[in-house]
Amino acid sequence: MKKWKSALGFKAIPGLLLAASAASSVLAGNVQSPLQDPVVDAPEPPNWDGFYVGGSVAYSLGFSDRFGVSDDLGRIGDVGDQKPDGFSGGVRGGWRDSIRFATGRQYVYGFEVAYDLANIEGSASGEVNGISSESESKINDQFSLRFKGGISNRSARTLYFSSIGYVNAEVETGLTAGAFSSTVDDRRSGYSLGLGVEHKLSERLSLTGEYEYVKLNSKTVDLGQDISTKSTPRYHGLRLGVNFRF
């Protein structure tokens, strides 16, 4: 019996030592290298900063502008009310910077220059001193310099902005009354106001939609033969475009 116990105990010693060694290794591993959750990097927020170029098209509708006819002695009469409308389109480019908030939103601001070819045209017809008359006004092109600023949504993929800017446009003014016919071109300065939204399709490409209001300076236009008219072009409309950020 003693021999059996002795043999059993002797044979069990290597197993006990092996088990103890394994437990010690596990405990040592737990102390030196505790298990940790995997690190997950948060995605970078969309970047609006830098230079961009783009293009846009717009449909504009003018406010009513009464076309009056005057001579050196004063007002002769009114041809009628013009309400110009039409399309424009062109290219643009700009620069932007941003301020990022802890909520994820961004305040994005910058400057934009644009040039558009336009066909915003209006006409009116009537009688002036018993003479059948027809008037016309047309905006042929438009250069603009705007400051834009706005706040993004939480994901920073959509930007809501407003704009204010300087505008310079070519205005064509014409009058035909009996045997008299004249057309005069001049350039006018003015200002623009806008509200819009821009959404990123990718890190570099975005779509824009904007409401804009443009008012050009009022001017007395000399049509010749001591005949003149005063015009004040004003129009508003919707503009759609695409931007590509460098």
pLDDT in tens, 101-144: 999 999 999 999 999 999 999 999 999 989 999 999 999 999 99
65/109: higher pLDDT: 109
Locus of tokens 């072009």: 233
Which residue type occupies 102? A
d(C-alpha 241, C-alpha 222), whole Å: 37
Tokens linked to 207? 């779509």
CB neighbour class for 133 (10 Å; exposed up to 12, middle 13-18, buried from 19): buried
Of 77 and 41, more confident: 77
Closest alpha carbon to 232 in 166, 154, 139:
139
pLDDT in tens, 165-218: 999 999 999 999 999 999 999 999 999 999 999 999 999 999 999 999 999 999
